Amino acid sequence: MSGATHDYAVEVTWTGAGEAGTASYTAYSRDHDVVLAGKPPLPGTSDPAFRGDPGRYSPEELFVASLSQCHMLWFLHLAATSGLVVREYADSATGTMRVESRGEGQFTDVTLHPRIVADDGELASDEQIAALHHKAHAMCFIARSVNFPVNVEPVPLAVAGRA
């Protein structure tokens, strides 16, 4: 295998032992901190369905977010290099995870719903935007690393200054 490699280091520290630790399934908190050097801690937990704190981030939510972020960053890169001026970008990403009867599970799909506002011009068409989304999807490191479909369903383009 050739090419550049990038390494990532994350410290995950469980903060939910309380007085009883894992004496029982209900005795402990799922709270933990995700720490990356030089950044504020990210308060993590499990999904509320698995006794997590709904006020903290779950790995499943962050997983869907990472797919959305990766796609957005590639899209913006491709827009910039193609000459399309994007003024706004937002995505309402959704993911589905199936849990099997024995407790193991997996994501079955993630769907991105990117909405952009771009300056008027020859590249500001739904067809051109769809082509950029297609290429961004093909380039996204995270989407290329998963074994389930990541669907991209862009919202029709809004052009800056047009009513």
> Which pLDDT belongs to residue 158?
86
> Which pLDDT belongs to residue 157?
84
Q: What is the pTM of this model?
A: 0.89
pLDDT (tens digit, 9 = 90+) per residue, 25-40? 889 999 999 999 999 9
Q: Output the average pLDDT for the chain.
A: 93
Q: Where are the alpha helices (DSSP H) in 6-159?
A: 59-82, 126-139
Say what percent of the chain tops pLDDT 70. 98
Residue 103 confidence class, pLDDT cut points 50, 70, 90:
confident
> Which pLDDT belongs to residue 162?
63
> Which pLDDT belongs to residue 163?
53
**Pair of tokens at residue 141:** 């490191």
Taking residues 123-135, report their average pLDDT: 94
Give the count of beta carbons closer than 10 Å to the beta carbon of residue 21: 11
Residue 63 confidence class, pLDDT cut points 50, 70, 90:
very high
Pairing of strands 94-99, 114-118: unpaired
Question: Is residue 98 scored above 90 in pLDDT?
Answer: yes
Q: Burial-class residue 10 by CB neighbours within 10 Å (0-12, 13-18, 19+).
A: exposed
